[in-house]
Structure 1
């Protein structure tokens, strides 16, 4: 199993640090904003869907209430 060589320790450390920094930057600057945008769009669409279903159920129940009130006198 290879070990860190004393002579090659600093370049290996520097390359590992550079690669991990680039990976972190890619995730934070590219992937997470897109993911956050998609989650926000999904939440907005679900709230609109719930509002529409609530309005549709109220509209479908409204004629029944009016019909019952016409003949309850």
Structure 2
């Protein structure tokens, strides 16, 4: 069975580890900080919007509250 040969298996394993570690680094160092920044900006904008008009459109704020409760 050639797919169990250690000579052919180790390079595939090494490349998989290299590619997955690069992908993980890209996600952790680039994508997640941008998402965190966007969520913080959105939350800040939502708070300033609520302070400006506290009684206006309480129905449209309900999905945002549900979304925030999912991540806290």
Task: Choose 1 or 2 for highest CA Rg.
Answer: 1
The TM-score with structure 1 as length reference comes to 0.67
The TM-score with structure 2 as length reference comes to 0.68
Greater relative contact order (CA < 8 Å, ≥ 6 in sequence): 2
Unaligned runs of 5+ in 2: none
The alignment's C-alpha RMSD in Å is 14.2
Q: How far 1:63 sits from its partner (Å)? A: 33
Unaligned runs of 5+ in 1: none
Size of the aligned set, in residue pairs, is 72
Question: Would you identify which runs of 4 or more consecutive aligned residues in structure 1 move more than 4 Å?
Answer: 55-72
Cα distance per residue 1:38-70 (max 9 Å; x no partner): 000000000000000039999999999999999
